[in-house]
Structure 1
Amino acid sequence: MIFKFEFMNREKINSTLPELFKILHGNMSLIAPTGGTFEEDFTVWQEYMVTAVREEGRQIVLMRCDGELAGYFQYDTGGSVFMMEEIQIKPQYQGNGMFRELYRWLEDKIPGDIAYVEAYSNKDNLKSQCILERLGLECVGENRSGSSFLYRGSCKRLWENFK
């Protein structure tokens, strides 16, 4: 399999978001269904995303496998933190090494003064929690609503895990 990664072109956000949401919705409807329709959920998510990608440190990485869009990774950098906000991979591409290659690709794109890596994981998403722990992150708290755990670890250790 050939993996390719690229930053989403912010000028093409409106044409890219529907493709990304299909991946998100396919994964999240199993993990944390909202009870809304596809269209309702897309409208809420799209409004958030259009605003979010305007933030300076925010990036969306498109992940391709053999030329097909296989997933995306959204993150933010600010201060001393690399915040892994969302990684969504189509089920047929999970477990094939793409995640490892993504982090190898990202290492030189994250500012060198970043000390910590953080991520939230829905309390019902045990798979995500196990992945974060394997990356060397520890559960250090919860989000405000109490629906997700906050994980934190050393950014240096994260990069060392992927060498």
Structure 2
Amino acid sequence: MILIVMGVSGSGKTTLAQTLAKLTGWQFAEGDDYHSEANRRKMHSGIPLTDEDRGPWLATLHALILKWHQRGESGILTCSALKQTYREILAADLPPGACRFVLTEAPREVISQRMKARLHFMPAELLDSQIATLELPADALHVSALEPSEAAARKVLDILGIAPLTQTN
């Protein structure tokens, strides 16, 4: 099983994904770590990425999760996956049901405050472009980023019928 925790920057993807990884023992990859230096500079400068900018990044992430699947390993990836076409690229070549998307959501004001409070190459000024680009997925699990991460992660696992390996406190 591959879980892709998606949503706009600052919506709590990494927090939820890390909690899911802790509860399952699955591999975890932070999609932002795979951005090119050019993409990072562009975003840091307040310039939204284009589909052309995202293409190689999405291909790299696809290769990563495809490798996990081919090795019979489960994993959790964070990726904004804002458009349906991006999600199709990520899940290409995987059998139906092998990849599930989990959308983290929070009010715009909350996300903006989070983005302003953290050190990250994605400035809060790009939030509106991310929200405008987001195409809500029809088949994703929706999770409130306002909920404590462990409670949200346990809900995701329960919906998917996956028993957690650990208890956290």
Asked if TM exceeds 0.5, the reply is no
Higher strand share: 1
Compare relative contact order (CA 8 Å, sep 6+) and give the higher one, 1 or 2.
2
How does the TM-score come out when normalised to structure 2? Answer: 0.29
Higher helix share: 2
